Amino acid sequence: MKFIFWISIISTAALIRANVLELTPETFEKTVGGKKPALVKFYAPWCGHCKNLAPVYDEVGELCHGKNIIIARIDADKYHEFGSKFGVKGYPTLMWFESNSKVGNPYKDGRDIDSLTKFIENKSGVKLNKKTTKQGALELTPNNFRKIVMDPKKDVLVEFYAPWCGHCKALEPIYTKIYQCFLPDKHVVIAKINADAYRDIAKEHGIEGYPTIKFFSKGTSEKTGIEYNGENTEDDIISFINANTGTMRIRGGGLSNKAGRIHEFDSVVNTISSSNIKEVISELKSLAKKSNNKYASYYIKVAEKITTSPNFVETEYQRLEKLLQKKLERSKYDDAQIRKNILSVFQIKKKHFSDEL
């Protein structure tokens, strides 16, 4: 299962994703049982319940950040013997470790954000300030369903749900994160409708169970929804949207390392050498005249820069990496990531080109 895209090394050599430490048996021994109490999730990558818990657990990590409380997880399927040492027999298993103790106390309450934060507050004595509830998916009614869903300029994902449905409740925090993920993409709408209350609309679209997710592609005002049949996990639903909209989002709202790259331009860059750099620039300019992609000019800029500054790609790549570690507006973050992606194409050719120079 993929997790949020920022990855940094900490002193214990554990990885941090969305303020949740990824542990191994070695880093567990160094991290748990110290001055800070810890909540540890023993999980398996293939476990559906683990995937459903992931966004909630990420939020717990965010709430505990800077509170001297460790929120961590360990792949107990990969490290089976280590999990067995703590009596782990199923996934996910959550355990609380007091400070200065490596004795785990199983967590047996609800797997929602309220239950988990209440438990941590009671155990640690630390008050966790829950964030204001994030704005969720657009709520549809019979009054706005057709106007929004059948908009020919919009790609629309609709969850048909029932308020009493347990699976719908489990999906809610995941669906909210998906809504947040695609906010920068103005042509993508993440919506939902109470199919139990508005049964005529549900019947019209062949809804027989809850939750049912359907995708309505732009291009016509008479859309036929494509039913989503994958797992109800953040990563799988994001992949489904990407495949149908051309977006390249990843968990957390970032962009994949292929976002913004233009195949035809990549192919030209892959032919670059010291002897044909002028021809490559000329060909890129020719392609740019036929392209509506605003990043076409960036390919040209990089190609021209390396003729006078051979280290430009490496220097600029490092600058963008540092920039991406800062808190940026979504549009600026996306722009920096796309430029970094394009630079990576030139990096592939960098050594060969530099040697020739």
Active site residues: 47, 50, 165, 168
Whether the Cβ atoms of residue 287 and residue 265 lie closer than 8 Å to each other: yes
Burial of 300 (0-12, 13-18, 19+ CB in 10 A): middle
CB 125 within 8 A of CB 141: no
Strand 15-17 versus strand 38-43 pairing type: unpaired
228 neighbors 237 (Cβ within 8 angstroms): yes
| 155 Rama class: left (phi>0) / alpha (psi -120 to 50) / beta | beta
- Cis status, amide bond into 92, omega within 30 of 0: yes
d(CA 267, CA 89): 51
CA distance 56 to 114: 10
Q: Within a 10 A sphere around the Cβ of 313, how many other Cβ atoms?
A: 22
Burial 154-180 (b: 16+ CB within 10 A, else e): bbbbbbbbbeeeeebebbbbbbbbbbb
